[in-house]
Structure formats: C-alpha cells, structure tokens
Structure 1
Amino acid sequence: MNDILKVGNIEFASRLIVGSGKYPDFQTTKDATLASGSKLITVAVRRVNITNPNEENLMDYFKGTDIKLLPNSAGCTTAEDAITLFRMVKEATGLNLIKLEVIGDTAKTLYPDVMETLKACEVLAKDGFTIMTYSNDDPIMAKRLEDAGSAAIMPLASPIGSGLGIQNRYNVLFIKEAVNIPVIVDAGIGCASDAAIAMEIGADGVLTNTAIAQAKNPILMAEAMKHAVIAGRNSFLAGRIAKKPFATASSPTEGLIEFSHKK
C-alpha cells in the first residue's frame, strides 16, 4: 500500500523517524537506521557532528542512501539559541527541514518550554524552514504552533528517554482533531508495542531513539519498530471493532443444528 507521510512538501515512504543519539558509533547508527526502514533520522547538531568536514561526520555514513537528516535543536533553552543554531546549520549544510525543540526543564523532565518554542517557530517559519515541532501533549498549543507555521506537531508520549510509552492517549486524539498537519508521537517510546499503539490511535508517525539505541540488540529492535509502525497504521486504517461489555458469538446463531438425545 502506498501510504506516504507528507511533511510540508516533503514525502516519506516510512512513518517511522529514528534518532542518532546514544549509539556506540556512527556505523551502528547507520545499521540500525537501515534496519528500521526509516527515511528520516534526527540529529542533535549541538552534540553530533554534521557540519565539520574535518572530523568524523555522520552525513558521510548516509551518503548513497535515501535517508534524510533532520537537524534538531536539542540542548537549546531559548528561542534565540534555536534560531541562531538553525541558521548556522542551514548555511553550513543547506538543510531546510528541521526539528525544533526548546527545553524548559533541563534537570528532570526535559519538558519543552512551549512559549519559547512558539517564538522560535514564528521566526523560523518566516525564514522559510520546514519545521517539525516538539511540544507537550496540549491541543491548544498544537494549534498555535500550526498557526505559527509548523509543518508537523510532535507531542511527547512521556518524558524523553523514559520508555514509559503514551501516558495520555486522549490528548493525542485531541491534538489530531485540533490541527490539519501531521501529528508524530515523539519521546518516551520504550518498545515496539508502544509504537503500534501510537499508530493505532491515529498518529501520523512515530519518532524513537533510546528504545532502539539502548536495546540489547539495536538492529533487532529497529526491525521490530519498523513492523510495529506498519501494523499499527494498517490497524488504524482497517478500523477496529467497537468495544462491548459482553460477549458476542463469532459464528451465526441462526439455523443451528438441533441434536436429539432420544435413544
């Protein structure tokens, strides 16, 4: 089935986005990404080199593949930081598709500062960036970010790296109802079933990093995430049955064969 994820004017054949952090080396990052089937890998450009050609560069490992790099502003705590970073990245690499994240609580939750995020989104959209925005799971803020120029909303499932899965499924549904751009569940995915659930409730995509990178077998987990996202998406499109508080026979009850107990 030709089920394309479209962000702005960019199309992706996979609805799974993966991260590049926490791997032991760039080769493992590449191997896991290829196993995942993802066409988009997000990179914390303040921590992972993609701009300096004189040092080991992640971009070199993905040459010859159809996988795009998605710079993110992890580590930025103000709108000004994020704006400056992305302008520098664009000048150095030409990359225009970005993942905007501005963190408000760097000590415990890594929750986003939504007001600073909104400020940065407004400026970066005017600069012509295609912005995928990490946010909390608030449908009101999601709508404001869409109005500010975001091309996709990426609400957290639970705190970054926690592996807790989706803590409030209804908020994902509320965000889907509030906006007309893709909703990609981001942060907190711990295993393949978490990704499948996100897709089953109607998310347009899933982003995961730690669940793959820190699995005992990252390549195998990457493959599991690939199949989970596909299965969850197909389940959503197929339409689940209604939940009932009582049993319903799975075979017809009319025309039953009558048994005679007479000897």
Structure 2
Amino acid sequence: MSLVIAGKTFSNRLVLGTGKYKDFATMQACYRAARVEMVTLAVRRFDLGAKGEDNILNWIPKDIALLPNTAGCYTREDALRVARLAREALQTDWVKLEVIGDQKSLYPDNEETLEAARILVKEGFTVLPYVNADPILAKKLCDAGCAAVMPLGSAIGSGLGVQNPMTLLLIKEVVESYQLPMIVDAGVGTASDAALAMELGADGVLLNTAVAEAGEPTKMAQAMDHAVIAGRLAFESGRMPKRLYASASSPMTGVIGR
C-alpha cells in the first residue's frame, strides 16, 4: 500500500490540507484520525512567525511531512517567489505548485504552471504540480522533471467529486510510463469520491474541504482514510467485468433435477 514520491515512501496514500478548519485543534485531530503522513500548507496564508499556539506549525505533528504550496498565486513569478520563501522558511525543497488562472473557478493556468515547474525543477525543487486534467500537459510536466502530477477531480472546494474519470485514466497511463505517481487533487466531497479516484488508478488523493467542512470532521477524516485504502485494494484486485445480462453466482453443476 506504499506511495513513493521522489524516493520518499509513505504508507498512507491520503494527503490533507490545512485550511478551513474551525481551529487548529480540530485540524490536528483530523490528521490523527486519518493517519496522514503528509499535509500541504499554504505558505502565504499563515503567519509562520507567530508565537506559541498561534503558529500553525506547532499544531502539525512532527512525524508528518510538510508539503508547502503556492496557493493564492496567479502568476509564474509570484509562485516562484513563494516557493523560494517556503524553502527558506521550512527547510524543504518540496513544493506543491499552484498557479491559478481564474479567481472565480480557481482553475489552474496550465501554461504558467508548466513554465514555473521547469524553473523550479532546475533550482532543485521536488515539484508536485496541481493542474487541470490534461494528459498532454501531464506528459510535458513529466518531461520537465516533476516528481508527480496532480490533476483535479473537479473545482477546488466544489465537492463535485471526480467529473473526468476517462481523462484521469489517460493521465494515469502517461505518468505510469514515467514511473511517476498520479495524485487526484481537489473536488473530493465525500468518501465515495476518494474511493472512486483510487479505483481509477490514482496513487493518492489530496483533499481538504471535504473534511474541514464536514459536520464531524474527525469522522470524515477517518472515512477518507478507509476510502483510500478500499479504493486502492479494489484497483489492485481488478474488478469483475460489467455485463448486460445477469450471471448466476452459484455453480450450475450438480443442480438438483426438477
């Protein structure tokens, strides 16, 4: 069940975020409930210089890896600046690259993301780009040296689930040929969405709002953990074929005569 990114192994394939929780204590409880080993942190949205309990870093368990992200950046230059600041402040070369192209939909700007990824890879970053579901772009990001590709399931925070299953299958085929992971990022609303993403072959799922805005966040965090495990097991098992007509589940041999 291990997920390997840039040579680093994670036993849990679920990644959570840090935003929208009612308080840091709830956020921390969700991390424990989901058993996550990596969380993504929006660098420009938190005061990393805050003291004591006001500093979010003091609420993230030390055994959980930090994946700083460039959330809120709308240009290549802005994303590069935030990534470099994150490396300096958090002492990590890992970055979740986000360059948003539209303030209303929050869809990524693919061209700016690709160019920023190329620059960051050359600067020694381990780049995990958040992008629209596009197999051609996925190939270019792999060629650029990214450590993974993270296509959206649907718009950030929409909870609409996986809206592009066939496209994700194509992206999976591309990144697998480079021996890189595909992590579905954004749009997951409930556990069945996470399970579906994994059943399609995703190597991991990154989500946040579905847990943070749930009626009982810690229960939803646990549900997401189970869903990712179940989806991965189903993918590895290979589902039965779909049939137009019924197929008896009991053997026909030895049937008692009329």
Shorter-chain TM-score range: over 0.9
1:99 aligned residue (96, 99, 102): 96
Q: Which structure 2 residues correspond to residues 1-263 of structure 1 after superposition, within 5 A?
A: 3-49=1-47, 51-54=48-51, 56-63=54-61, 65-106=62-103, 108-179=104-175, 180=178, 181-259=180-258
Deviation, 1:178, is 1.2
Q: What is the distance in 2 between the residues matched to 1:46 and 1:92?
A: 11
SS of equivalent to 2:205 = strand
SS of equivalent to 2:255 = coil
SS of equivalent to 2:45 = coil
Task: Determine which structure has more spread, i.e. the larger CA radius of gyration.
Answer: 1
Q: What is the distance in 2 between the residues matched to 1:28 and 1:169?
A: 32
Deviation, 1:53, is 4.8
Q: For the aligned residues, what is the CA RMSD?
A: 1.1
Q: Which amino acid aligns with 1:160?
A: I
Q: Which amino acid aligns with 1:48?
A: F
Q: What is the distance in 2 between the residues matched to 1:125 and 1:255?
A: 65
Deviation, 1:62, is 2.4
CA offsets 1:54-99 (integer angstroms, 9 cap, x no match)? 4722221224x42111110010011111111111111122022110
Q: Which amino acid aligns with 2:41?
A: V
Q: What is the distance in 1 between the residues matched to 2:24 and 2:126?
A: 26
Q: What is the distance in 1 between the residues matched to 2:90 and 2:183?
A: 25
Q: What is the distance in 2 between the residues matched to 1:113 and 1:248?
A: 48
Seq. identity, %: 53
CA offsets 1:151-185 (integer angstroms, 9 cap, x no match)? 11110100000000000100110001112211001
Q: What is the distance in 2 between the residues matched to 1:191 and 1:53?
A: 33
SS of equivalent to 2:44 = coil
Q: What is the distance in 2 between the residues matched to 1:28 and 1:96?
A: 28
Q: Which amino acid aligns with 1:9?
A: G
Count of residues in Structure 1 that have an aligned counterpart in Structure 2: 254
Structure 2, unpaired ranges of 5+: none
Q: Which amino acid aligns with 2:233?
A: N
Whose helix proportion is higher, 1 or 2? 2
Q: Which amino acid aligns with 1:221?
A: M
Q: Structure 1-normalised TM-score?
A: 0.94
SS of equivalent to 1:46 = helix
Q: Which amino acid aligns with 1:97?
A: W
Deviation, 1:252, is 1.1
Deviation, 1:255, is 2.2
Q: What is the distance in 2 between the residues matched to 1:255 and 1:54?
A: 75
Structure 1, unpaired ranges of 5+: none
Q: Which amino acid aligns with 2:168?
A: V
Q: What is the distance in 1 between the residues matched to 2:193 and 2:169?
A: 15
Deviation, 1:197, is 0.4
Q: What is the distance in 1 between the residues matched to 2:94 and 2:28?
A: 20
Q: Structure 2-normalised TM-score?
A: 0.96
Q: Which amino acid aligns with 2:72?
A: G
